[in-house]
A and B are shown apart, each in its own frame.
Chain A
Amino acid sequence: MKNCIQTIQDYGLRSIGIGERRLPTSDFTLCEQFTLIGSGMMWNIYFGIMALVTGFLLATALAVGKSSKNRYIRKPAQWFIFLFRGSPLFIQFFFAYFLFLSLKKTNPMFDAFTSAWLGALIVLFLNTAAYSGEIFYGALRSIPKGDVEAADAYGLSGWARFRRVIWPTMLRLAWPAYTNEAIFLFQATTLVFFSAFPAWRQEGDALYYASYFADKTFNPFIPYPILAFYFILFTLFIVWMFGRINTRLNRHLPQAQKKKLRLRLNLAR
């Protein structure tokens, strides 16, 4: 037990470069595996939350753009969504990395873009914006006509109508699908260090450490279930969190219509 506390102190923050420099190389204890894989989860959470928050804003803009009547706004939004939804995220990571690499040669300003914390985040941001944009677009199209007419009758128009009627209704309708997207985005963050982005000084994410242990011990039956444990835990947290927001979004509805967020995970990617 004492050893385990020592291990947590050494490796608990290893994935962000704090603590023991050298990774354990032999005689791995269960504690070491739990600690290091858990430490790697920080990267997954960082990528997941940052991409989700920034992507949310762009997604709203894309959804509005895609349903615009002006074709010079609609077409770019449509193409953006098609580009990122129609190609594998894995290839997007590779392409972006090599793109940043060649940009770096022309301008040292792009130095940071070749490291995972920024470069991969940008790809995830654009990717989740495209997926959520499509979800929001679908929700925009299914806003009840009566709601919009009621807003007109109250004399709301333009920005006020969007801000007070259309946007909240869109979110309410899109929320179950958006929860799904958040879960899959979070899972997709494991791809970062398996595409071209290097894990600098072996500071990687949870899957990076799990596969490190699996490669060293040639025994996949311990590290991957640990990884699964962490991910299921965090998935449950996302479901709970989004469920709370869902309740808030639907708080004005009569009690009978209030639907609990029924989670039916559909593979959207």
Chain B
Amino acid sequence: MFSFCADPDALGTFRWFSCYLTNGVHMSFYLSFVKVLVLLAVTAPVALSFGFAGAMAARSHVFPVSWLGKGYIAIVRGVPDIAFFLFFVIALDQGFEWMRHQILCPDWDAPIRQGNDFLVCSNAKLPLGSAPQWVHQTYSFFLAVITFSIVFGAFAANVLYGGMRAVPHAQLETAEAYGMSRRQTFWRVLVPQMWVYALPGLSNLWLVLIKATPLLFLLGIEDIVYWARELGGTKTSRFTDYPHPDWRMWYFLFLLVFYLGFTRVSEIVLEKLMVRLSHGQATTGGEALRKQVTA
């Protein structure tokens, strides 16, 4: 990166570190932080919409639909989330390939599961065997996003379902008295009001989602955990210009600090958001705000 980095052996401590921390592999390490942020930015809205759909389904008056919604909420509860992560990554991949196989190769007659193998025709492979490296990486990242969304969608559905039930019933009766249909009541009265009840749960969920991002490592993504392990390991002068002993502890300490900072910032922002949403609401938070103004 810097011009003086040509011969690392001759450098002082400070300059050595400035060269070491800006070399090529470290750039990949920093890029993996971006991956985490992208994952969060994509997963959060998708999971929220999954959750909204789940909560709507659970409220439905049609029994199969409400069972589906309640089942979706319930199933993710009793089972560890990493089990779901490990399961969905393979299951989704095989599901996609199976569907493509049915469409693209209708005259294939060999069974797909042969003993310990899962074989689809080469056209149905995802991504195609000939695809460049970045397509493979994007595809596995895409699978990870869907997996995260399904699991956290169930949590969000639980929170939103609770929020919908917390809206005072009188509000809904009033809407009915005004002659609104069920659909109108839902969209015009229930949905605008439920957010303030759901927000504590949702902000908790956001913090949980942040803390779940290192699990990307288990899904085979080259994320921050992968690079911290990789870069921290002992390096001898035979393989690199920057030999160092086992520093993995320090790399993980850095990750720990990163997550602590991220959590703290999120907490502060969410607290502000809660204050804003509580304005004029008939909740204890809203009442406290009113008193502040009048006092």
Give A contacts to B, CB under 8 Å.
26, 82-83, 86-92, 94-95, 98-99, 101-102, 183, 187-188, 190-191, 194, 207, 210-211, 214, 216-221, 224, 227-228, 231-232, 235-236, 264-269
Contacts and interface: CB of A to CB of B under 8 A. Distances in A.
B287 interface: no
A100 B91 CA distance: 36
A43 to B, nearest CB: 13
A266 B200 CA distance: 11
Contacts of B204: 266-268
Interface stretch (B14-22, B55-63, B124-132, B213-221): B213-221
Nearest to B116: A217
B31 interface: no
7 contacts: A82-B264, A88-B213, A90-B214, A91-B225, A94-B252, A216-B116, A268-B204
Contacts of A98: 232, 246, 248-249, 252
B259 A101 contact: no
Interface in B176-215: 201, 204-205, 208, 210-215
Interface string B117-159: 1100000000000000000000000000000000000010010
Contacts of B255: 91, 94-95
Contacts of B77: 235, 265
Nearest to A227: B83
Contact of A187 (B80, B162, B217, B249): B80
Contacts of B228: 94
Contacts of B225: 90-91, 94
B260 A83 contact: yes
A210 B201 CA distance: 32
Contact of A95 (B78, B82, B205, B253): B253
Contacts, number: 121
Task: Report, as a range, how many residues of chain B touch the other chain.
Answer: 35 or more
A194 B249 contact: no
Given A91-B256, A214-B90, A267-B204, A232 B78 contact: yes
6 smallest beta-carbon distances between A and B, as pairs? A187-B80, A98-B249, A95-B252, A88-B211, A86-B263, A232-B78
Interface string B71-113: 0000001111111001100110010000000000000000001
A243 B86 CA distance: 32
Given A83-B260, A91-B214, A188 B248 contact: no
Contacts of B155: 267
A99 B252 CA distance: 10
B83 A219 contact: no
Nearest to A184: B80
Contacts of A265: 77, 158
Contacts of B158: 265-267
Given A26-B116, A214-B90, A87 B260 contact: yes
A91 B252 contact: yes
Nearest to A28: B116
Contacts of A216: 116
B211 to A, nearest CB: 4
A83 B205 CA distance: 18
A194 B218 contact: yes
Contacts of B78: 183, 228, 231-232, 235-236
Nearest to B89: A220
A207 B79 contact: no
A86 B225 CA distance: 17
Nearest to B249: A98
A194 B118 CA distance: 25
Given A95-B253, A231-B78, A267-B155, A87 B211 contact: yes
A88 B83 contact: no
A82 to B, nearest CB: 7
B211 A220 contact: no
B270 to A, nearest CB: 13
Contact of A190 (B80, B94, B246): B80
Contacts of B218: 194
Contacts of A211: 86
Contacts of B229: 94
Contact of B249 (A88, A95, A183, A218): A95
Contact of A101 (B87, B94, B249, B256): B249
Contacts of A94: 225, 228-229, 248, 252, 255
Contacts of B91: 220-221
B275 to A, nearest CB: 20
A236 B77 CA distance: 11
Contacts of A183: 78
Nearest to A224: B87
A86 B264 contact: yes
A227 to B, nearest CB: 6
